[in-house]
Structure 1
């Protein structure tokens, strides 16, 4: 299992949220989509999850990897690991 952290969270007009997660080293990420069951959850924090390594994808662009790593570390410092959507 690998601990990953939310990097981006984008909610569209249909309340479909796309979440991008990355490891703190910034080298791998994955995205998932979920339909929000309530507008109240639109701004709910989403932090760490544990996923199998085979669900992670490589991040090839060095600038994106650096941004992902920085954001993953920031989220790790600001949110409790149990704050999961």
Structure 2
């Protein structure tokens, strides 16, 4: 699954939400990260292997299309282990 979106939570301070999706945009995996300090370094890679039990379906056709386009762009521009 390829990184398609990185957002910051409005509900909680210092929370980053990473969304990865399949190349067809039909499935997604969401990863939340708390940024606890400036020295808290955890790499974000271009792609991840997600456990099928933690993957959801993308119901909105517009989101599916957007995720597919971004996943394809990331695949063309990066190796899966590239740090983004």
Aligned residue in 2 for 1:5:
2
TM-score, normalised by the number of residues in structure 2: 0.76
Which protein is richer in strand relative to its size? 1
Q: Is the 8 A contact 1:49 1:84 kept in 2?
A: no
**Unpaired runs of 5+ in structure 1?**
none
Q: Deviations over 1:26-59 (max 9, x none)?
A: 10112111123438x6xx7631101122211001
TM-score, normalised by the number of residues in structure 1: 0.75
**Unpaired runs of 5+ in structure 2?**
none
> Does residue 1:55 correspond to 2:54, yes or no?
yes
Deviation of 1:61 after TM superposition, in Å, equals 1.0
